[in-house]
């Protein structure tokens, strides 16, 4: 993994920016930024696998990240036994019915190929019957579950395992969703994948918001267990107190910084593993094949490469990486809040990271993740300051001035959109361009 001096310089500049925040604002803020930068970088790597390697346009990053978040919640939260007793059997039965319905529907579709128009009706009827069975099993179970201790639980809970497992499970969840979407829409026109991913991500968010038995919906699940120590425990431990005072730090500041450093360490390991694997994959014959397919599908197909199934493979891999990052984000937040998933933050911003960083280059994606996240957060104070300064010539209570200052927050949308358009137009290769091999 050689890097040119210019690239090292760019990363050093980024580190300097983060450190200057540490000196000017506080190290706490700087480390919070760093942690989110790392997560953004992993998401950007996932999108880069899809877009940079294979030219697939995924507009549903948000949905895959949310599935990762769901995994973090389901893995770590202890099961609600009363809810399982009330409706566990019904829910399991409903899920079995759903699987059977899908299989039966596919079977009916295959077996009725020579029936003409009645094919649609037969398949439709099979699915409808299955759906009625599913609903009759799941509906009473769901209302029973939601009645169990509704203020605190009202859902099935999870598995009570260490939350760190969820990073893997999140990847698997996202990969599963990607498989379904990819099977349906890959191999058709390229827009269809974009539209299908846009749709599935919206639906995933709706499910997380409204299926209270699974996620508590908008009531959120707070207090997820952590993979790192709690500040409170550190503050109370005598050993830590003496260590912190020995270092010349206040105990509370030291504990908060230490916890964030622990997260940063864990996240860095994941980032390095993903980055290493992506680089190896990119250099392998597999990576060469992906680039060949991206650059000329017809020629690659003529060479005997199965374009659609390669696309499916790479789409699943990229989505899994996004799912892992989504699970990490929820772990860091310590709570699962379906309403925080916004397309702007989880889909569009990630795209800007990849394009600005340099599509097709993993280091570029990582740098893009850091840079864009940094400015995304720091843009708010800057924008507010800029608006106040620009309008300082106006009267104090002038409506235009108030409106402009109030709307400064929306400037971020505009700015990021412009950044994307300008980079695409004038520097389509990004900060760290793809290496021609």
Partner 1 sequence: MTDFLNALVILANFILVPGLAYGSQLALGALGVTLVYGVLRFSNFAHGETMAFGTMLVILVTWMLQGAGASFGPLPTALLALPIGIAGAVVLCLVTDRLVYRYYRRQRASSVIYLIVSVGVMFVYNGLIRFVIGPRDQNFTDGQRFIMKAREFKNMTGLNEGLAIKTTQAVTLGTAVVTVGIVFWFLNKTRTGKSMRAFSDNEDLALLSGINPDRVVMIAWIMTAALATIAGTLYGLDKSFKPFVYLQLLLPIFAAAIVGGVGNPLGAIAGGFVIAFSELFVTFAYKRVVTYMVPESMAPEGLVQILSTDYKFAVSFMILVIVLLVKPTGIFSGKSL
Decide: is 219 part of the binding site for partner 1 (CB under 8 A).
no
Contacting residue, 184, 273, 280, 382, with partner 1 by CB under 8 A: 184
Q: How far is Cα of residue 337 from the mean position of the Cα atoms in its chain? A: 13
Nearer to partner 1, 279 or 297 (CB): 297
Decide: is 307 part of the binding site for partner 1 (CB under 8 A).
no
Decide: is 200 part of the binding site for partner 1 (CB under 8 A).
yes
Decide: is 420 part of the binding site for partner 1 (CB under 8 A).
yes
CB 295 within 8 A of CB 26: no
Contacting residue, 89, 103, 125, 188, with partner 1 by CB under 8 A: 188
Span near partner 1 by CB under 8 A; candidates 34-42, 159-167, 203-211, 261-269: 203-211
DSSP string, 128-177: HHHHHHHHHHHHHHHHHHHHTTTTT--S-B-----GGGHHHHHHHHHHHH
Nearer to partner 1, 268 or 415 (CB): 415
Task: Look at the block and give the residue holding tokens 């392998």.
Answer: 284
CA distance 115 to 218: 46
For 122-147, letters b (16+ CB in 10 Å) and e give ebeebbeebeebbeebbeebbebbbe
Give the three-state DSSP class for 283.
Answer: helix
Decide: is 121 part of the binding site for partner 1 (CB under 8 A).
no
Nearer to partner 1, 38 or 372 (CB): 372
CB 401 within 8 A of CB 395: yes
Decide: is 3 part of the binding site for partner 1 (CB under 8 A).
no
Decide: is 131 part of the binding site for partner 1 (CB under 8 A).
yes
Contacting residue, 206, 230, 276, 385, with partner 1 by CB under 8 A: 206
Nearer to partner 1, 226 or 412 (CB): 412
Nearer to partner 1, 388 or 407 (CB): 407
Dihedrals phi, psi of 247, to nearest 5 degrees = -80, -5
Nearer to partner 1, 121 or 210 (CB): 210
Segments in 306-348 forming alpha helices (H): 307-333, 343
Decide: is 90 part of the binding site for partner 1 (CB under 8 A).
no
Give the three-state DSSP class for 232.
Answer: helix
Q: How far is CA 385 from CA 375, 392, 398, 410, 415, in A?
A: 14, 10, 17, 14, 15
Segments in 211-361 forming alpha helices (H): 212-215, 231-236, 238-246, 251-283, 285-295, 297-302, 307-333, 343, 349-357
Nearer to partner 1, 138 or 164 (CB): 138
Decide: is 301 part of the binding site for partner 1 (CB under 8 A).
no
Nearer to partner 1, 152 or 410 (CB): 410
Decide: is 191 part of the binding site for partner 1 (CB under 8 A).
yes
How many other CB atoms are found less than 10 A from the CB of residue 154? Answer: 18
Span near partner 1 by CB under 8 A; candidates 20-28, 53-61, 364-372, 377-385: 53-61
Decide: is 11 part of the binding site for partner 1 (CB under 8 A).
no
The footprint of partner 1 on residues 147-176 (CB under 8 A) is: none
Where does this chain bind partner 1 (CB under 8 A)?
Answer: 55, 57, 59, 120, 131, 139, 184-185, 188-192, 194-196, 198-200, 202-203, 206, 209-210, 343-344, 348, 351, 355, 406-407, 410-418, 420-421, 424-425
């Amino acid at each position: 993994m050689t890097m040119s001096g210019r690239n090292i310089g760019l990363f050093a500049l980024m580190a300097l920016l983060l450190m200057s925040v540490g000196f000017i604002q506080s190290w706490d803020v700087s480390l919070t930024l760093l942690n989110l930068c790392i997560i953004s970088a992993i998401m950007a790597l996932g999108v880069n696998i899809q877009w940079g390697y294979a030219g697939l346009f995924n507009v549903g990053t948000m949905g895959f990240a949310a599935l990762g978040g769901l995994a973090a919640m389901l893995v770590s939260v202890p099961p609600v036994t009363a809810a399982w007793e009330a409706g566990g059997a019904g829910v399991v039965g409903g899920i079995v019915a759903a699987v059977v319905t899908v299989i039966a529907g596919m079977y009916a579709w295959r077996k009725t190929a020579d029936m003409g128009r009645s094919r649609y009706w037969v398949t439709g009827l099979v699915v409808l019957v299955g759906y009625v069975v599913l609903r009759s099993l799941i509906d009473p179970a769901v209302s029973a579950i939601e009645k169990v201790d509704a203020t605190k639980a009202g859902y099935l809970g999870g598995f009570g395992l260490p939350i760190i497992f969820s990073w893997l499970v999140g990847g698997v969840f996202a990969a599963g969703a990607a498989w379904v979407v990819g099977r349906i829409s890959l191999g058709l026109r390229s827009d269809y994948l974009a539209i299908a991913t846009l749709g599935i991500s919206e639906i995933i968010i709706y499910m997380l918001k409204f299926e209270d038995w699974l996620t508590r919906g908008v009531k959120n699940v707070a207090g997820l267990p952590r993979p790192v120590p709690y500040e409170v425990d550190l503050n109370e431990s005598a050993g830590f107190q003496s260590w912190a005072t020995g270092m010349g730090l206040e105990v509370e500041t030291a504990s908060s910084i230490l916890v964030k450093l622990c997260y940063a360490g864990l996240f860095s390991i994941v980032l390095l593993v993903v980055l290493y694997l992506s680089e190896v994959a990119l250099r392998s014959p597999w990576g060469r094949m992906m680039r060949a397919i991206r650059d000329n599908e017809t020629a690659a197909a003529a060479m005997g490469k199965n374009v659609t199934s390669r696309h499916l493979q790479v789409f699943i891999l990229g989505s899994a990486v996004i799912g892992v990052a989504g699970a990490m984000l929820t772990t860091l937040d310590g709570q699962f809040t379906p309403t925080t998933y916004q397309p702007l933050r989880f889909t569009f911003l990630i795209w800007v990271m990849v394009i600005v960083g340099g599509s097709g280059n993993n280091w570029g994606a990582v740098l893009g993740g850091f840079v864009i996240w940094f400015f995304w957060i720091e843009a708010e104070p800057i924008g507010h300051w800029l608006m106040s300064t620009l309008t300082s010539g106006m009267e104090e209570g002038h409506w235009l001035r108030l409106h402009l200052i109030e709307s400064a927050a929306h400037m971020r949308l505009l700015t990021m959109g412009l950044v994307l358009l300008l980079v695409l137009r004038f520097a389509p290769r990004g900060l760290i361009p793809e290496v021609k091999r």
